[in-house]
Amino acid sequence: MCWLDWSLGSREGRLTLGRTPVGHPRLAMAVAARKGRTTASPHTSITTTAWPGPLDSWLSWIPLPKWALITVAVAGAILLLLFLICIIKCCCTKKKPKKKDRIGLCTVSNPTTINLVQPEMEDLEQAVEQKRRGKLQYSLEYNFRLQELKVGVKQAVELKAMDSGGTSDPYVIVYLTSDRKKRYETKVYRKTLNPIFNESFTFQVPHAEVSESTLVMQIYDFNRFSKHDIIGEVRLPLASVDLQHVIEQWSDLAVASKVEEEHLGEICFSLRYVPSTGKLTVLILEARQLKRMDSDGLSDPFVKVHLILNRKKWKKKRTSVKKNTLSPYFNEVFVFEVPFSQIQNVDVVISVWDHDKVTKNEPIGKLLLGCRATGNQLRHWSDMLSNPRRPLAQWHILQPPEVVDKALGLKSHLKLPLHSR
């Protein structure tokens, strides 16, 4: 680069090429600007540029433009401010508990006022139990010519969970109060609170008895090794229903009525079948809460096991008698030879009796198992056939003896139970 300078202050002009006079003000300032600082001549004020600080050095390493850094900083400041405002609001604006007016029941003498202030505990418990039991959909159709009432159990929704896993194993029992002995049961649906049944049952109801009957539909939770828990029920007086038309409707489940038929007791037994050998094993384990048959409030129970082949008496066995108890423990096993070709034609009748030395032995309750059975008895029998060589134990509720006898359909001279031992 060539600098051309004429020195006017000298007597003669000199041309300087390739170098710069040291004392020239303008040239000195140009050189200083190139080096990052400004230096003035004696006739000019001196200005210097400071070296970058730590913050500038740190910001120079961030690969973002300056406007983006400013935006992020402003947003962070706003968020921090909002956070501080929320903390201050939560700490300083806590609701103070209101002072409740205390009513001294000792100063109140009117019993009506006391009931208004402090309701009965039974009413509160019933209100709690009434909630969240679910709904049941059903249909009714009455045939005036045949005098038959057809009840259709459609489905249930939002049932109350009865098991620890938050589900239930629901099934429905249907009967009329005019004939409690005739009861129908739907299939059991596992682990669901919204079962779809779609089953129908027919009752013989004379037209004159329709207005005096009440249809009862109870939903139970099935338990193999304990008592079945009732979820809720629907009671429908037929006098309040217009049976001229087919009815299909939903009803809320209510708490089960405490006034029910007499409880006969429960029995637990195990079933096992081996197809290859044709051996049917019945293990009578125990019974509980049996009906009181003696004057002292106890019973002397024993169990009979009958095998019915093609509706005819075939084989029978019985346990020992347990004295003065309503919860006997037997643990007695019986083995029957039943060929696999005949297993579909065999019915098993298990009956609990009260032993009496003076008079005839009285039946307490009975159960029918086999392919012609219904409800839990049919399920127990089906589970046995589906799991050969495996013993399956289950609790069952005893049924009235006449109900089982009617279901067997035996002739009068073969009617069970037999009073001989």
pLDDT in tens, 128-146: 445 678 999 999 999 999 9
pLDDT of res. 93: 60
The SS3 assignment for 115 reads: helix
The values of phi and psi at residue 20, to 5°, are -120, 135
Smallest Cα–Cα separation from 167: which of 188, 194, 187?
A: 194
Tell me how crowded residue 39 is: count the other CB atoms within 10 A of its CB: 15
pLDDT of res. 37: 44
**Residue 373: both structure tokens together:** 């059975």
pLDDT of res. 227: 75
pLDDT of res. 42: 46
Confidence of residue 103 (pLDDT cuts 50, 70, 90): very low
Which positions ≥6 away from 206 have C-beta within 8 Å? 147
pLDDT of res. 54: 62
**Residue 102: both structure tokens together:** 């205390």
Where would I find the beta strands (DSSP E) of 205-361? Answer: 214-221, 229-237, 247-252, 266-274, 279-288, 301-309, 312-318, 329-337, 346-354
pLDDT of res. 56: 65
**Residue 141: both structure tokens together:** 């159709």
Smallest Cα–Cα separation from 231: which of 160, 306, 317?
A: 160
> Residue length, the chain?
421
Cβ atoms 298, 356 nearer than 8 A = no
| CA separation for the pair 64, 68 (Å, rounded) | 6
**Residue 105: both structure tokens together:** 């029941």
Beta bridge mates, 274 = 279
Burial 310-342 (b: 16+ CB within 10 A, else e): eeebebbbbbeebeeebebebebbbebebeeee
Residue type, 296: D
pLDDT of res. 298: 85
Interval 10-49: pLDDT, tens: 444 444 444 444 444 554 454 444 544 444 444 444 444 4
Confidence of residue 240 (pLDDT cuts 50, 70, 90): confident
Mean pLDDT value across the chain: 78
Where would I find the beta strands (DSSP E) of 158-228? Answer: 170-176, 179-185, 196-204, 214-221
Interval 168-204: pLDDT, tens: 999 999 999 877 778 899 999 999 999 999 999 999 9
Interval 391-413: pLDDT, tens: 999 999 999 888 888 888 764 44
Residue type, 254: A
Beta bridge mates, 352 = 303, 365
pLDDT of res. 57: 67
Cβ atoms 318, 421 nearer than 8 A = yes
Whether the model clears a pTM of 0.75, i.e. scores above it, the answer is no
β-pairing, 247-252 with 196-204? Answer: unpaired
pLDDT of res. 107: 43
pLDDT of res. 68: 77
Direct distance between the N- and C-terminal alpha carbons of the chain, in angstroms, rounded to an integer: 138
For residue 266, pLDDT over 60 is answered with yes
